Chain A
Amino acid sequence: MRRLTVAFAILVATHASANPVDVYGLGSRAVSLGGAMTAAVDDSAANYYNPAALVRGNDLRIDLGYRWAQPELTLNGRDNGVEASRGVHVGLVAPARVGPFRFAFGVSLWLPDQHLTRVNSLAYTTPRFPLYENPTQHLVLQANLAVQIIRGLYIGGGLTYMSRTQGEVFLKGTVAIGDPDASSLTSKVNVDLLAVRYPQVGILWEVNRHVSLGLCYRHRFSLQLDQSVRIDGNVGSPPVVIGGHFAAHVVSTDLFQPWQLQAGVSAKLWRGLGINVDLAYVRWSEFPVPASTVTLDVDIGQFNAMLKLPRTRSFPAPQFHDIVVPRIGVEARVLELDRVALDVRGGYVYEATPAPEQIGESNFADADKHTFSAGLGVEVRRLGPVLPLPLAIDVHVALSYLPDRASHKMDPRDAVGDFVAAGVVPQLGATLRSRF
């Protein structure tokens, strides 16, 4: 019996790019400082911003926070329906010392309260904001180890864990064309939630009491969606095909994160006034073609010759380009009392869009992003024997503004046509930082 097998790319694309921490940051202090933290971070957010900073302090740290972001993104003035991203952040820093050797272990968990993971494949042509949809709906776990090389010089690194799905659906029985009541199928479903990892490493140099320099590298990663469906059985009642089968195996890119190299400087200027500046190089040009590869295997006996399976189709590269992202954050202590201190923070990020103008079939909407952030930090001291060290409560607000960006289609027959992408993304959050 001759089988027909064909592998081809179909017009299905997934929301791909980055993860919720990349998009919205981690921890209220960090977000309110525009994410310019590579050289300034000193709490559990170091698990993301610079693992080397985990060993900076001597205290055990436990941080707990909540963050909410609601993209209000529009295409031609119509809401694109991008879901909110919200969830809990838990972080831990555990320093230790063996003789003169100092090291620290850190772990950070971002736990979204809507979806632990999300896969949503749309047709290749469907207009969407790929940087704001699936990426913000994933669990992120980071674990790092940092060591002190010499006094003031630290290195650190670790892994970030995310999840992906792999599944198979089997159906077996009789398919009676034109007579559904005569069909009989039994099913077996086997779906796994698998972990994927990517590494990050960082280095931090405290040049003196006032200036620190940091460098952090986060590797690229790609989450693959792997699904299979297989139907075994007879076709027709009575059967005209005995022992036939149909199998489809779909592999697609669910998430993609470009590698990033982030350099930062933090300077404490005068009486509690500090300024942080970061510059990140983000390698978006490796953004893969967001199409699914489908392998079909069909065996319907005498009818195989009548099948016309779809031709293989290749898609053009998405042509994303690398970007450099500047970040700046300013922090000032405006109140210093015996038991309470108050910090005021502000930040700004400019993120040029890596997506080219969408002139062909794809509709990956995006625009330059200006993010303005502000925050307050209250530090409360001497809370008793249970909390002898200061407890910090940080809150932040941020607003990302995406100015109008037009895409002019080359083909007047395009089903979607010209579009203008725009929007704002308001964000709120709070973090409780404790030291023991």
Chain B
Amino acid sequence: MRTHALALFLLAACGTQDSHQGPPSHSPASGLGPIAPLDDPTGLSWVPPFILSDAARALAHPSALTDGDAIDLWVAMALADRTTIGHAHTARFEDGLVDIAESLHAEQAWEGTSVSCPSVVAGEGERLLVYLANGKVGLARGDEGRWSRRGTPLYADGDGVPIRSIAAARNGDRLRLVVLVGERVDDLTLPLTDLGVGSPGWIVQVAAMVGAPRWGASLIELGLRVAPTATDRWREDLFFGVALPIVADLGAGPAPTAVGAASRYLDHDDARFQIVDSPILSGSPFARAASTVAYRGGVLVFYVARSGPRDAIGVGRWP
């Protein structure tokens, strides 16, 4: 046993020598991180890194929007028989996200019993809630408490394979959507003016990500960010949860996961996402998914990780 422990220790130590470098000490918040979970409780009325948890429901797939100091966060809430979308709000980051309320549940025939993978983007004077239901993508417009749903799926074509996860972002006058179909990430673009009824004319790029993370086994959740760099070029970052390869019998409990990222510049419409060589969220085993928002000159990163018996929402900050 001791022999194996020593060998694992040495292998792990050597592995870190060749990995991605640590965070710059005073970095500009322009690149892709890496990102560390928040660990300093100074000035906070909650204990980092978990900013939102629920005693009865596992939380997943965070999606955040900010308005000044205020933060709105939408999450998928898993119950025994269904999943709904919940919402929490705080006027200031320091106060934390305390109360979570149901924001959307399945009620249309095509949605089946569950709605999940919320991605909320700011539209023209309204918010757009893009969600996953029954392997298809749905859309609700409006605001908290008065969502108005599109009657039919916004996107349903996964080559006959159910869509497993989605993420949306706004890029100017277009809605950007990435969907996880099997192990493939497809990339879709739609003018905001085409969100109404009828059949949207999506521009689809199949297999928008180059390769697959060499350190992971299976993609599980997506997050998307469109943001300008410091030089006003536009870049699109794709965050994904990855189930890690099982290398040993760990007994009961969740399988290990990690958060990865891929990125591309938006200079060319056909550019594909390039995967970052190693996980970007360090120091948080079993983390997955990620939603990022610009906040007070930096970037907040909301992610899913195990807190006690259930998944909760942790937060990291960069730089």
Contact = CB atoms under 8 A, between A and B. Distances in A.
Given A310-B14, A412-B274, A363 B24 contact: yes
A412 B265 contact: yes
Contacts of A240: 2-3, 6
A3 to B, nearest CB: 15
A419 interface: yes
Contacts of A78: 26, 28-29, 297
B28 A235 contact: no
A127 to B, nearest CB: 6
Nearest to B266: A412
B231 A408 contact: yes
Among B11, B21, B233, B275, find the residue whose CB has the most chain A CB atoms closer than 10 A.
B21
B229 A306 contact: no
B15 interface: yes
B276 interface: yes
A162 to B, nearest CB: 25
A52 to B, nearest CB: 43
Nearest to B262: A413
Contact of B21 (A76, A125, A306, A309): A125
A10 B26 contact: no
Range of interface residues on A (Cβ < 8 Å): 35 or more
B34 interface: yes
A122 B21 CA distance: 11
Classify the interface of chain B: helix, strand, loop or mixed. Answer: loop
B10 A412 contact: no
B5 A177 contact: yes
B235 A412 contact: yes
A417 B27 CA distance: 9
A336 interface: no
Contact of A236 (B2, B24, B30): B2
Contacts of B264: 412
Interface string B253-267: 000000001111100
A360 interface: no
A241 B32 CA distance: 42
A75 B27 CA distance: 8
B31 A76 contact: no
Contact of B25 (A122, A178, A307, A407): A122
B248 interface: no
A307 B3 CA distance: 13
Contacts of B26: 75, 78-81, 127
A241 B22 CA distance: 31
Interface residues of B, number: 42
Contacts of A334: none
A309 B261 CA distance: 27
Interface in A309-335: 309-311
B24 A417 contact: no
Contact of B24 (A79, A178, A415, A420): A415
Interface string B1-13: 0110111011100
B13 to A, nearest CB: 9
A10 B23 CA distance: 16
Contacts of A420: 28, 230-231
A418 interface: yes
Interface in A51-98: 75-76, 78-81
A11 interface: yes
A126 B27 CA distance: 7
Given A75-B26, A123-B21, A235 B14 contact: no
A380 to B, nearest CB: 46
A413 B6 contact: no
Contacts of A416: 24, 27-28, 30-31
Nearest to A305: B7
Contacts of A11: 21
Contacts of B229: 408-409, 417-418
Interface in A377-417: 406-409, 411-417
A78 to B, nearest CB: 6
B40 interface: no
A292 to B, nearest CB: 13
A300 B10 contact: yes
A415 B21 contact: yes
Given A125-B21, A307-B14, A414 B6 contact: no
B67 interface: no
Contacts of B6: 177, 235-236, 240-241, 303
Given A177-B5, A306-B11, A412-B263, A76 B230 contact: yes
16 contacts: A76-B28, A76-B29, A81-B26, A127-B28, A240-B3, A303-B7, A306-B10, A308-B15, A309-B14, A409-B229, A413-B274, A415-B34, A416-B31, A419-B30, A419-B230, A420-B231
Interface of B: 2-3, 5-7, 9-11, 14-15, 17-18, 20-34, 229-231, 233, 235, 261-265, 274-277, 297
